[in-house]
């Protein structure tokens, strides 16, 4: 991806990337992944606030994209309500789902540290190509049992992912769906998850894996890029920069 930093592009479209509002899993300090928990009360308000902020900045979109998980869907709906753009075409994709945390899904992070040790858990969380233990095929956390993924080939159904394998899953959606729309001048709102944000920001900003894996992504905070017809990007930054 080409990336511009000054007056080297004439932007034709806006891309807003945003992590969902705080979820019940975030609130409880869980490895959430594809575990389909809703927003916390704080997360609902974060999503509404983000929508109001985008409206105040005059952002208008042509389409909206999010994952298959309710914390992004509800975040998106709050944003569209506040933007008065509930009529936008809305697309959901498993490729925008959070990283699948394998056998760790649903576990409390501190309890997992007590069981496996802080260093091992940190490697599973932030090692670029370190994958946690696979989820068992009989587990309720195995996506193959979920009807929303019934049409996915078995080879595409994850049992555990690293940042590297999540990036490999996400980038085809960027290349084949999001980027072509942006190059046609369509402004997009994309609500997704922390690890997916790391993957996309790493790609768009040309970061090396070590820099991408250590990015801290705030919940409910819109990140804005400008895009021109040949796909050159300019990062404008967070609308409400985290402290």
Residues that constitute the known binding site for substrate: 19-26, 32-33, 71, 98-101, 109, 125-126
Tell which residue, 211, 188, 220, has the closest CA to residue 74. Answer: 220
Would you report the helix, strand and coil content of the chain in percent, each value rounded to 5? Answer: 40, 15, 45
User: Would you list the DSSP string of 152-217?
Assistant: S-GGGS-S---HHHHHHHHHHHIIIIIHHHHHTT--EEEEE-HHHHHHHHHHHTT--HHHHHT---
Q: How far is 107 from 236, CA to CA, in rounded Å?
A: 36
Q: Which of 20, 65, 193, 203 is catalytic?
A: 20
Q: How far is 51 from 45, CA to CA, in rounded Å?
A: 10
Is 141 designated active site? no
Q: How far is 201 from 136, CA to CA, in rounded Å?
A: 31
Is 98 designated active site? yes
Q: How many residues does the chain have?
A: 243
Q: Which of 46, 98, 161, 226 is catalytic?
A: 98
Residue ranges at the known binding site: 19-26, 32-33, 71, 98-101, 109, 125-126
* Residues catalogued as catalytic: 20, 98
């Amino acid at each position: 991806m080409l990336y511009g930093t000054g007056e080297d592009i004439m932007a034709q479209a806006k891309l807003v990337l945003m992590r969902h509002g705080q979820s019940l899993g975030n609130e409880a300090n869980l490895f959430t992944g594809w575990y389909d928990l809703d927003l916390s009360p704080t997360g609902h308000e974060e999503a509404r606030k983000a929508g109001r902020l985008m409206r105040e900045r005059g952002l208008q979109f042509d389409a909206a994209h999010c994952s298959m998980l309710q914390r992004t869907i509800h975040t998106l709906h709050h944003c569209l309500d506040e933007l008065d753009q509930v009529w936008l075409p809305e697309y959901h994709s498993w490729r925008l789902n959070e990283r699948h945390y394998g056998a760790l899904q649903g576990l409390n992070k501190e309890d997992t540290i007590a069981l496996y040790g802080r260093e091992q858990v940190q490697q599973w969380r932030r090692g670029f190509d370190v994958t946690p233990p696979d989820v068992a095929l009989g587990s309720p956390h195995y996506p193959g049992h979920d009807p929303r993924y019934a049409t996915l080939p078995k080879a595409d159904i994850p049992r555990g992912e690293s940042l590297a394998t999540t990036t490999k899953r996400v980038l085809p959606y960027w290349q084949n769906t999001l980027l072509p729309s942006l190059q046609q001048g369509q402004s997009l709102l994309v609500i997704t998850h922390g690890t997916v944000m790391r993957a996309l920001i790493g790609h768009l900003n040309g970061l090396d894996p070590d820099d991408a894996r250590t990015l801290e992504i705030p919940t409910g905070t819109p990140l804005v890029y400008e895009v021109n017809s040949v796909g050159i990007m300019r990062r404008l930054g967070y609308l409400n920069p985290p402290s």
